[in-house]
Amino acid sequence: MRFDSSLFWHHWGRVPWQQQIGENRIFARALEDLGFTTVWVCEHHFWHDGNFACTPNPILTNADLAAHTKTIRLGQSPVCIPVWHPLRVAEDIALLDHMTRGRVDFGVGRGFNNRWCSQLNSDADMRDEDRAFALFAESLDIILKAWTEDAFSYRGEFYRLPEPGWKEVDPNVVLDAPHYAPDGEYITISVLPKPYQEPHPPLYQMVTSSPRSIEFAASRGAAIMCSSRPVEAMRPDWLAYAAHASRVQGRKVELGESASIQFGTYVAKTREEAYDHAREGYNFAMAGIPVRRDKLRAAMLGADALTADDLDGDDFDFAIKHNMLMVGTPDDVAERIGLYQEGLNFAHYQLFPSIPHLTFEQAMKSLELFGAEVMPRFS
């Protein structure tokens, strides 16, 4: 079993940024000491609605963490590539890969909140799903070409690289092929540096249960990162991913291979203590999702699996009932992990510690307990 984790962020809370940066470093060093493989850093913008207090730049945050750790890998969960220029992402990730001597895992996604996607790039407006997805696909393809081809050009719906018609005006530049045409027009690009890892850092894609997202991830050789849902609801998606990846790679990709799940996690010595600390914050977070409860729970379980009893009770009890939330004693959490192992051949756990209203001290105690009493059972 591989164990990764996000950083602890004060979701729906606000602390001074110097405090948050200091806590990031402490948390990352603790993950390294406990034997976690990768620390993942999310991307969010425009905190003013009180929703998230996360970094707007996961790559820069990774660089800071690299300076305060020695061995743990550094990932982004994700870089929302539609709101970045793909050539800058290619350069920045490759440079980070060299700075860390190959400790980078590259995580991509379409974006979390259309409020900021559309502000940073109008083409990323998620109200037009097909257009936003096309931009995401085009951006990733450019990044991969930049890393794997010495000189490349690209003509797509959103990007034309190099920009057609530009001719070199610097008399000191040698107008050699393949970068220049005989008349001096710039026709291919070379991005430097190439990544330290060959051909590039391991690629991960945050996916939903959308068949399009799952098939696209497999087609580009990306491992998938999933939010937690019940085993029975996730199994068809993971089977579909394994089938697509098998066709692309020309070998049998097993169920659970190159697939991970991010679980809200909080561990305490007693079940009562864990539930008492986590319940209010989890319910608060779920109440802020602008989807009716019945539709949201049907999406989590699958419409056919939703029963009348599933519409009763608060969101915390619903998540515990269906094993989507890893909150409880070490025994409780280990038992739930075992269910995912049995049903999905699950082997890559991503710990999400940022349940709202938890303090940094509570998150650290939970992490230490998880590392000491849960992880060794799956080593």
Instruction: Render 223-282 in DSSP notation, one character per residue.
Output: EEEEE---HHHHHHHHHHHHHHHHHHHTS-PPTTTTEEEEEEEEE-SSHHHHHHHHHHHH
Question: Cα–Cα distance between 141 and 125 in angstroms, integer?
Answer: 19
Q: In this predicted structure, what is the pLDDT of residue 49?
A: 55
Q: What is the pLDDT of residue 165?
A: 95
53 pLDDT exceeds 80? no
Answer yes or no: is 174 within a domain: no
Does 224 map to a domain? yes
Model pLDDT, residue 379: 84
Give the H/E segment covering residue 82.
Answer: none
Stretch 205-224: mean pLDDT, rounded? 96
Average pLDDT, the chain: 94
Predicted pLDDT of residue 52: 59
Segment 213-236 shows an average pLDDT of 97
How many domains does the chain contain in total?
1
Q: What is the pLDDT of residue 1?
A: 97
pLDDT at 50 over 70: no
Q: Which domain holds residue 16?
A: 2-126+198-378
Q: Which helix (H) or strand (E) holds 328?
A: strand 326-328
Residue 288 CB neighbours (<10 A): 11
pLDDT at 327: 98
pLDDT for the residue 257: 98
Q: Does 330 reside within a domain?
A: yes
- Greater model confidence, 64 or 14: 64
Tokens of 346: 């699950």
Instruction: Tell me if 145 is assigned to some domain.
Output: no
Which strand (E) or helix (H) includes residue 284? helix 271-287
pLDDT at 14: 82
In the predicted structure, residue 48 carries a pLDDT above the cut 80: no
pLDDT at 113 over 90: no
Q: How far apart are CA 121 and CA 377, in angstroms?
A: 45
241 has a pLDDT exceeding 80: yes
Give the dihedral sign, CA 40/45/49/50.
Answer: positive
CATH of the domain at 237: 3.20.20.30
Residue 259 inside a domain? The answer is: yes
Q: Terminus-to-terminus CA distance in the chain, angstroms?
A: 6
**Domain-located, residue 158:** no
- pLDDT at residue 336 in the model: 98
Q: Give pLDDT tens digits for 163-191.
A: 999 999 999 999 999 999 999 999 999 99
Query: Does 153 reside within a domain?
Result: no
- DSSP labels, 148-194: H-SSB-EE-SS-EESPTT-B---TTS---TTTB-TT-BB--B--SSP
Q: Is residue 149 part of a domain?
A: no
Q: What share of the chain is helix, strand, coil (3-state, %, to 5)?
A: 45, 15, 40
127 or 103, higher pLDDT: 103
What string of DSSP letters covers 2-70?
EEEEEPP--TT----HHHHHHHHHHHHHHHHHHT-SEEEE-----GGGSS----S-HHHHHHHHHHT-S
Given a cut of 60, whether residue 28 has pLDDT beyond it is: yes
Query: Does 287 have pLDDT greater than 90?
Result: no
Render pLDDT for 262-283 as a digit per residue (tens, 0 to 9): 999 999 999 999 999 999 999 9
Bridge partners of residue 259, in order along the sequence: 224
| 8 Å CB contact between 272 and 346 | no
Size (the chain), residues: 379
